[in-house]
Each structure stands twice: as structure tokens, then as C-alpha cells.
Structure 1
Amino acid sequence: MKNHRKLSAQGSFWRFPIVWMIVGAIGIVLINIIFQQLTEQGGLVSLVFTLVMGFLALLVYKLTLTYLARRPTPEISRKRAGIESVLGMLIGTLFIAGSAFMIMALGGYSFQWASSADTSSVLIASIGSALGGAIVEELIFRGLMLQAIDQLGGRPLALAVTSLFFGIAHLGNPGATLWSGFAIALEAGVLLGAAFLWRRNLWFAMGLHFAWNAIEGLLGIPVSGHPATGLFTVKVHGAALLTGGNFGLEGSIVPVVVSVLISIAMLAGAARNRRIEARNLPVSK
């Protein structure tokens, strides 16, 4: 009887949301650290290592949710992985390209083709860097943290907390300021959280995140403060509030406003989906 109670207590401990969130996050971060140097070598080999790292990170996530949280993982189901990823990439591309165009139209950016750039090397480097970041960050913040806090305190609290921590996590980046951290919390934390709540699908959130970083890198705009060697060189003119300054486009007021509008639409879609699900639930007798 005592052994049964002990096993039951241990099971309850591992199923507690904060516990499996931390265990899963540590596992994913360790995999990212192990592969970090391998993925920074450049070329196709680097991209292959990024894909291996992503697969292992997904595996850790799957095992954590299955054996510790004791719940299924439809959010990483292969059934709609392709279409959700493409839809996310489309929205991410339109968001970043549209924001960059608006800043350019307001006189903040001017672009020139980088004739000396090796197109294939730039493409591989941008794709690899963006892919690795999108997988790791979405699994941790939207996959583990948002769902754990949602289980404890509901979706509004989960969205607020994950957005805050996402902004804080970028304060150590080059060129970061309190404003850039706040901007990241709003435009990335809220938007990516809203994207997940709307689609209930991590492939969608990862696709959006991937396209966001990849397009910035290809345009030659710093990605969250990290300099990017893109297909274009960008010259910055005017106030940092418009251009984002050294931190890049994400520190600009333009994508903040655009992302808030998109987030509102996604959160409205998430609320509508919940109402539909509630109506379709069987009535208990």
C-alpha cells in the first residue's frame, strides 16, 4: 500500500505542469547547445545538423508530453504539418516583407542588391539559422510554457506570461534596449502565442517564426540585434523608433502596430474556435 502511494505521489509530481515544462525545456536547450557549434560551420552540412537537432528537439518534446504530462500531442501531428507550416510561412513572409516595405515607404530603409554575396551560401545560412531558432523557441515557449501555464491559470495568463518572458529572453541580444524587449514581447510573444492559440498547431507557429527570421536575414536586416549577411544591403535613415536602429526591424514601431492587429484577428479566431468546440461537446446526462 505504501509503495502504491509512493508511486502515485511520484506520478503526480511529474505530471505537474511546471515540472514537465522545466524538464522538457532543459532537454531541448541541452540538445541545442550540443549542436550549436556543428550548426555554425556553414554550408549544407550545417543545415543537415540543424535538421537533426530539430528532429531530436521534437522527440524530446514528444517524450516529455507523452510520459510526464501524460497527454497526446496533436499540435505536432504529421497529419497537417505541411499545410500548417506553409500557411505560417506565408503569414510570416507577408508580415515582415510588408513591415519592411512600409518602413521603406516612410523613408527609413533603402535596399541595394549585394552583388558580392554568394546567393547559395546566404540562402543556406539564413534558412539554417532561422529554422533552428524557430523550432527551439516555439517548442519551449508555445509548446511547453504556454500550455503548462494555460493548464494552471488559463489562456490569458499563459499568453501574458509567455510574451513577457519572450521579451526578457531577447534583452541580452546585441543592441537590445527596454523598448526592444517590450516590442519583442508584443510583436513576437503575443503574435506567436496568438498564432498557436488560433491554430492549436506548433507547425504553424514554427512556420511563421521561421519565415520571420529568414526574410529579415535575406533582406540584410539585423535579426533581433544579430547582424545578417543577406542578399541586400540596407541603409537606415531617421529615428530608431521608425527603423529599429541597431536592433533591426523588430525594434520599429511599424511591425509592433501591424503585429497587434494580426494578433487581434488571430485571438478572435481562437475564441470562435472555442465556442464551436463548446457547442459540439456532448451534453452529460
Structure 2
Amino acid sequence: MKKKVYGKELRQRGRKLSAWSSFWRFPIVWMIAGAVGIILIDTVFRQLTAQAEGAVSLIFTLVMGFLAILVYKLTLTFLARRSTPEISGQRAGTEAILGVLTGTIFITGSVLIIAALGGYSFQWASSADPSTVLISSVKPALEGAVIEELIFRGLMFQAMDTWGGKPLSLAVTSLFFGASHLGNTGATVWSAFAIVLEAGVLLGAAFLWRRNLWFTMGLHLAWNTMEGLLGIPVSGHAAAGLFTVKMNGDALLTGGDFGLEGSIVPVAISLLFSVPMLIAGARKRRVDPGKPSALK
């Protein structure tokens, strides 16, 4: 009799453990759990960096990035029970550098076109300290690149992919990414829509193409850093750059108070980048449809 009771208790415990495991493996659950963990780390380190200066604040940001990536990996490994090739250390440096180069070309090209059309004029800010400007540009750019890419192109993209495939993932992450910038200074419905296309779609396409978060982080980092160094507002956030920027003409060309992201020019250029990336990503999936990866 005791053996039967004990066996029944074991089966009940097994069912409870199975139900608990299934709960955490539900895409929305592990997506939210991971995002909360990453946001908590970001919040804590924002307080620390606010009290630090110079290189110390940059070191705090690097530590924050490491811990956020660790939370992401633990979430996918132990809750979602998925592999994480998108954040693998292999080729991390190469992918990040390629992303930085892509982001630099994208922003430089957009700025040059707007300047050629008379929208921007630059004057060297003689009072600016280059090292201070560099740190003040890189620190928030690095923070945004790591946190936003882990949450949007990492957690949310893969959770939505589980439900409805990559087209749904691209659409949902792009829309949420645009909406997340609505509270920024100078934001409008147009600027949010522009973010959906030029950032949400571009970064999502980059992720599908490279299957790699290091690439999208590098692209994102270069994007915001270049704007900061040039003195252009970064999605509504003022930048103390190496140049003083004068904007001339319609906000549709210059982006107005919201900055470059509110301009029609990077929206158009981003589509020129995104379409080939999406095509390359689709071809890669067809070539290797059976690859055992969360990103296949």
C-alpha cells in the first residue's frame, strides 16, 4: 500500500513539474521574464553611471552590457530551452565590426544627402573636448544598442517567430520599436512611423540576414554614436557633439527636433539596405532549412 501511495505522489509531483516547466517555456512568459531582468539591470546601472564620470561611467556601461547578455542567455537556455547561436562568442568581433561599418555607412550617407540638399550645415565646436564628447556619445549608444537589441531583436523577435513565423516577428518588433520612441522629445506620429521603417525593419532585416545579435548591436551602436559625434539629436535626445548643427528647411528633410530619424532621407536609404538583407536572409533559410537552430 505504501508503495502505491508513494508512486502516486511521484506521478503528481511529475505532473506539477511538467506543468511548471511548460509555463516557463510559453513564449510570452520567457519573453517578459527576460525583458524584466534586462530592464532591471539597466535601471540599476543607470543610477550608477549617473553618479560616475568619464571612463568610469563607460566601464559601468560595459559591465551592464555583459550582465544583460548573461540574463538573455540564461533566459533562453533555462526557460525557453533554446540554443543561443545569435549571441555566440564565435565571430562576435567580426560580426560587431561589420555591423559598425554598416551603421556608419548608413548614417554618413544619410547626413551627406541631407547636407547636399541644404538641410544641414556643420560648424566645428571649438569648445568641445573630443574625449568627453566621445565618451558621452558612446556610452548611451552602447547602452541602447545592447538593451534594445536583446529585447526587440532577441527576446521579442524569437517569441513572435515561435507563434507566427518571421514575417509576423518583423512586423511586431518594428511596430513596438517605433511605439517605444513616441515619448521622446519632438516625437510625432510620423517620427514613430519613420522609426518603424528605418530602424525596426532595418535592424530586423539585419538580424534575419546575419542570424546574429552582435551584428545588429554594432549597427545600432554606430548609428547612435555617429549622430552624437556630429551633434545631431538622437531620436529626440540632445547631443553635445564635435559640431554645431544648423538645420534649414522642412522637418521632413531635417528631422526637426527629433533628429535624423525624423527625416525622410534615412527612411528611403534604410529600405535600400533592408530589401537586399531580407532577400539574402530568405535565401539562406532555403539553402539550409534543416539547420537545428532557433533562427532557422
TM over 0.5: yes
AA aligned opposite 1:2: Q
Q: Is the 8 A contact 1:42 1:125 kept in 2?
A: no
Structure ID, larger Rg: 2
Shift of 1:279: 7.7
Between the aligned partners of 1:191 and 1:280, the Cα distance in structure 2 is 24
Corresponding residue for 1:23?
33
Matched, 1:103 2:114: yes
SS in 2 for 1:235: strand
Matched, 1:8 2:8: no
Corresponding residue for 2:266?
255
SS in 2 for 1:233: strand
Between the aligned partners of 1:113 and 1:218, the Cα distance in structure 2 is 11
Between the aligned partners of 1:202 and 1:104, the Cα distance in structure 2 is 32
Corresponding residue for 2:89?
78
Matches within 5 A, 1:74-223: 74-223=85-234
Shift of 1:245: 0.4
Shift of 1:71: 1.1
Between the aligned partners of 2:232 and 2:216, the Cα distance in structure 1 is 22
- Aligned mate of 2:55, from 37, 44, 61: 44
SS in 2 for 1:172: coil
Between the aligned partners of 2:206 and 2:69, the Cα distance in structure 1 is 19
AA aligned opposite 1:150: D
Give the 3 Å change call, closer, same or farther, for CA 250–24 of structure 1 in structure 2: same
Between the aligned partners of 2:291 and 2:167, the Cα distance in structure 1 is 23
| Per-residue Cα deviation, 1:160-210 (whole angstroms, up to 9, x for no partner) | 000000000000000000000000011000000110011010000000000
Shift of 1:260: 1.1
Q: How many residues align?
A: 281
AA aligned opposite 1:70: R
Between the aligned partners of 2:44 and 2:242, the Cα distance in structure 1 is 30
Corresponding residue for 2:257?
246
AA aligned opposite 2:154: G
Give the 3 Å change call, closer, same or farther, for CA 251–280 of structure 1 in structure 2: closer
Between the aligned partners of 2:53 and 2:258, the Cα distance in structure 1 is 24
Between the aligned partners of 1:38 and 1:269, the Cα distance in structure 2 is 41
Corresponding residue for 1:227?
238
RMSD: 1.0
Give the 3 Å change call, closer, same or farther, for CA 279–142 of structure 1 in structure 2: closer
Shift of 1:38: 1.9
Corresponding residue for 2:7?
none
Between the aligned partners of 2:162 and 2:23, the Cα distance in structure 1 is 15
Shift of 1:39: 2.0
Between the aligned partners of 1:280 and 1:130, the Cα distance in structure 2 is 33
Sequence identity (%) = 71
TM-score, with structure 2 as normaliser: 0.93
Shift of 1:125: 1.2
Between the aligned partners of 1:48 and 1:233, the Cα distance in structure 2 is 28
**Structure 1, unaligned runs of 5 or more:** none
SS in 2 for 1:278: coil
Between the aligned partners of 2:63 and 2:290, the Cα distance in structure 1 is 42
Give the 3 Å change call, closer, same or farther, for CA 51–115 of structure 1 in structure 2: same
Between the aligned partners of 1:244 and 1:278, the Cα distance in structure 2 is 41
